[in-house]
Structure 1
């Protein structure tokens, strides 16, 4: 209960931060929701009283007009507030979505890429996915709960004027219904666990029915009957699993129906006696019986809303867990960032990914001097990308430390620290914007720098061929007017992006893996040409870039096994030499055969076609 109260206060704080004035309209909404059915009930009693009193038609119509007008005004206000809260609830949901988005953009990288981090984010994000989710419905559900509470108190005050015994009956009814809701909550996890596999089976079958790849087999092998049997079995299993819940629902509905019948019978029996004894007027009888009916429905609403509110507050734990994750890196004031002559030292660093027992990197030590061109090579899975993520501050070593100009990485504010690096990764992700937006990436726009970057990267030649120039969009799935960049063109855009940021450390993490050898060589020549004054890292499992670098770091199973220039490592005839020779053979032999085959194909086409 203490935890639920904590989550309730958190939700109320979020609502207040969104719009403090919403609480005034919230209170008015609760009042109109509660008062409206009571006013309608009292009008019925008042009409009877007027008729029995024999008032004049003029006075009757005048009094009736006042009552009807008042009820209509309350109803208009209630409906207007309903539409207001439908809109505000959705905007509130979107504001929470933005808060989650801001956190996901600024949260430490390990907290989002891990399996646990993805789970926490997914659970929090599910609360804002639609108006039916927690942050889209909570305000209205809270208003219904408070309306039910006020309604119970109001209708109880009316019926207690007739008999105090109703306190006992109503209390027993509420207690019984709350017990049933508690039982529902208790068996819910077990039923969810048991039905989870059944739901997966059913979902899988539904996907199969619409899979065109299976359509031929279904017909040729006459699988319809078999599928029907499987679906019937899944349905039968589901019914069996849901039996405990269905039995509980039946018992709850029976208890509720019995309780309402008991209250109603008792009310009619007692009211008839009171009317016979002259202690209850006919108009009071209408109010009394109407209050009993409204009380019964309001009790049901109250119990249901208590269960819903309990569920809502339980879901708040996902939001709370996401928003209050403990930072891994330094987000406080850090030391000043060096702006030139950047050197990086690795001192005995090791790293093991979460849920893994074998370390990806083991006891690495190396020093990278300002202005050096470093190639980090090795076979797939050697730990190259992990090393770069550690240097960039995306991951934190389990052991050892990383020094920037002699200062520990942790001494810098992490957001400031990221300013040191311009990185181009293999998995280049394109946003649904223009070429210019992709290059600038939200940095302050400087036209002089921008034009120079276009020329240096060769992107100016690309946009010169486009009708919309650098305003051309580059994600075709989103915009029909967008273009599809080739691999080489994309890498030139990414080069322009790195050049525009102009950070002192340049990192290329296999950006050319999807390109052919010639295109790869051209891209690397571009990068090398514009990295003369930077500490640069070239990461690849292909060795086309290594000959241009000052030093080569060879990684094998998470350890540095070779360090030296291309000539030195070739002379050593170890792993680097063997990998280089294997790739060189491919480029010498296989590529040559492909070129010869293409040449023969062209000659054959000319012979067959002839020349006119």
Structure 2
């Protein structure tokens, strides 16, 4: 945000209104009706109470007083009922707006290339959008400021009509110096000038308040992220409870909170709270001066007999309502202007280019078809980085082949899978499927070819069967077969056909916390349920005990059948199940061959890794 004074971002306002209309067509009409109703409600008791006062000071006609009182009570009751309905309707429409906005935000996220999602610029943009939402700068907050702005305008119109009407219908004033001064146009103009001056001061001060609020939001983007992590990701997360208690990390967390949150609070106090104490003091002083002037003017008019008691009541309330409405309009406009500027972040996000991976060629998924995947001199580096993660890789994978991919951490193994699954595009070279560049295939058709279990796989806090089927309508027989093949026989027997148990307690307090090994088997079962021609297992047994790991490897052929399989593991003993082994080092494919062939290359990387692991199991004496 620049330091110079900004004008209203009309492009952002138009975009916001279009989005509001798209997400909830009834929101704007409901908002306008609610604004008009809220503006009218305060003036009904003002006008009718004034009439009652005049009648009490005058004829004291009982039928008239009864009628006025009944009218006041009846209208207030009707307005209360309509107001309750209007408030409920507006709240429902606002909730609908918020819900559908997040739906659209999620849809947009899913349409972006994975490469775009992992781009640091995109992640920063999403974070800033979240922080501005936390600071009441979202599109629904803009709608709220718009509602209160329209309400202020309607109040100004009604108050103006009442002020002009009561001044025009006043009584004949008494003669004398006091009467001539109070009744002169000069007095009215002086009061009007004082009110305008007060509005100008109010506008200036509100602009300064908005500037401090804007600076506070900008300065606290990082601190709010820290606050959210320390409190919501750690302190409020029951899954962190074991480690916090076991390692007595409470004191460390408190120190972190003191280190991060304490200074940020002090910065907000110095740069937001303290300056605004002065600002709000100025506004209070201006309000006091104007209130005194209005009361003095009206009391003098009443003293000379120019207006009735009822008119005094109306004029005092109408003038103050008018002034407060102007102040509210300025305040809401200021907040609306600031939030529209921040809505530009959402415009940027929704304007990001969507997936470029829509090829035109379709793949007919046939289980018996031969699929051949080839890497042709493929190189890759991540966006905003020149460091090569993969360099000049040439590799072939065929149906029925088990390929192990091994190497040190950071060798490029998982990146290889991301390229194969089209999460990223190679920066050089091509990957083909049956001789066709994989970028030419329809993306949805293409990814149907793969069942992948990543090392950092994700399970959802939904029902077990929905996690495995990735659907709300799982095939029970297929589900059970996948679970048994993945080694979950005991769980199948225990659940006895009811697989709706939730994973974790995020949505259901009766949810179940599965062990790390069980979660890994569930992830494997999900890959098997999909029944894709190519299976990718990235460290599939990392969380399993040795016996269970042996059982998984013993079932390896049953797990993958005649499918092509890529197997990534740091445990080289598991590579013996594979036909070929691709050894990566520093992003380069340095060796390729069978387990036996690679061991025979004594100076090779595979032999070095194998020897380093094997010495922990054989040939070493235990220390005394």
User: TM-score higher than 0.5 here?
Assistant: yes
Aligned to 1:463: 491
Shift of 1:148: 0.9
CA contact 2:465–2:499 (8 Å) conserved in 1: yes
What 5-or-longer segments of structure 1 have no aligned partner?
A: 219-226, 598-612
Aligned to 2:209: 184
Query: Would you say 1:38 and 2:43 are equivalent positions?
Result: yes
Shift of 1:446: 3.8
Aligned to 1:155: 159
Q: How does 1:123-522 map to 2 (within 5 A)?
A: 123-125=128-130, 134=138, 137-159=141-163, 162=167, 163=188, 168-188=193-213, 242-243=269-270, 245=272, 248-271=275-298, 274-275=301-302, 279-331=306-358, 334-339=360-365, 340-442=369-471, 445-459=474-488, 461-471=489-499, 473=501, 475-477=503-505, 485=514, 489-522=518-551
Measure, in 2, the Cα distance between the counterparts of 1:543 and 1:406: 32
CA contact 2:453–2:536 (8 Å) conserved in 1: yes
Shift of 1:32: 1.5
CA contact 2:361–2:440 (8 Å) conserved in 1: yes
Shift of 1:551: 2.2
CA contact 1:474–1:485 (8 Å) conserved in 2: no
Shift of 1:442: 1.0
| SS of the residue 1:71 aligns to | helix
CA contact 1:159–1:166 (8 Å) conserved in 2: no
CA contact 2:483–2:525 (8 Å) conserved in 1: yes
Query: Would you say 1:560 and 2:589 are equivalent positions?
Result: yes
Shift of 1:301: 2.1
The 3 A distance-change label for structure 1 pair 93 and 465 is same
Measure, in 2, the Cα distance between the counterparts of 1:88 and 1:217: 43
| SS of the residue 1:393 aligns to | coil
Aligned to 1:603: none
**Per-residue Cα deviation, 1:336-365 (whole angstroms, up to 9, x for no partner):** 125332221222322223454422112222
Q: Which of 15, 23, 26 is the aligned partner of 1:10?
A: 15
Measure, in 2, the Cα distance between the counterparts of 1:453 and 1:198: 45
Q: Give the alignment's TM-score, normalised by structure 1.
A: 0.81
CA contact 1:435–1:470 (8 Å) conserved in 2: no
Query: Would you say 1:575 and 2:605 are equivalent positions?
Result: yes
Shift of 1:536: 1.6
Aligned to 2:562: 533
Aligned to 1:107: 112
Shift of 1:268: 4.3
Aligned residues: 580
Aligned to 2:617: 587
Shift of 1:502: 1.2
Q: Which moved more, 1:149-158 or 1:476-485?
A: 476-485
Measure, in 2, the Cα distance between the counterparts of 1:96 and 1:88: 12
**Per-residue Cα deviation, 1:478-535 (whole angstroms, up to 9, x for no partner):** 5676666566554443333222211111111111123355533432342333434322
CA contact 2:450–2:534 (8 Å) conserved in 1: yes
Q: Which of 75, 97, 100 is the aligned partner of 1:95?
A: 100
Query: Would you say 1:80 and 2:85 are equivalent positions?
Result: yes
| SS of the residue 2:404 aligns to | strand
| SS of the residue 1:295 aligns to | helix
**Per-residue Cα deviation, 1:445-469 (whole angstroms, up to 9, x for no partner):** 445544544554443x323530444
CA contact 1:462–1:489 (8 Å) conserved in 2: no
The 3 A distance-change label for structure 1 pair 514 and 245 is closer
Shift of 1:78: 2.0
The 3 A distance-change label for structure 1 pair 587 and 334 is farther
Q: Which moved more, 1:317-326 or 1:534-543?
A: 317-326
Over the aligned positions, Cα root-mean-square deviation in angstroms equals 4.1
Aligned to 2:122: 117
Aligned to 2:177: none
Q: Give the alignment's TM-score, normalised by structure 2.
A: 0.80
Shift of 1:377: 1.1
| SS of the residue 1:563 aligns to | strand
Shift of 1:561: 0.9
| SS of the residue 1:506 aligns to | strand
Measure, in 2, the Cα distance between the counterparts of 1:199 and 1:425: 31
CA contact 2:159–2:322 (8 Å) conserved in 1: yes
Higher RCO structure, 1 or 2 (CA under 8 Å, sep 6+): 2
Measure, in 2, the Cα distance between the counterparts of 1:390 and 1:324: 25
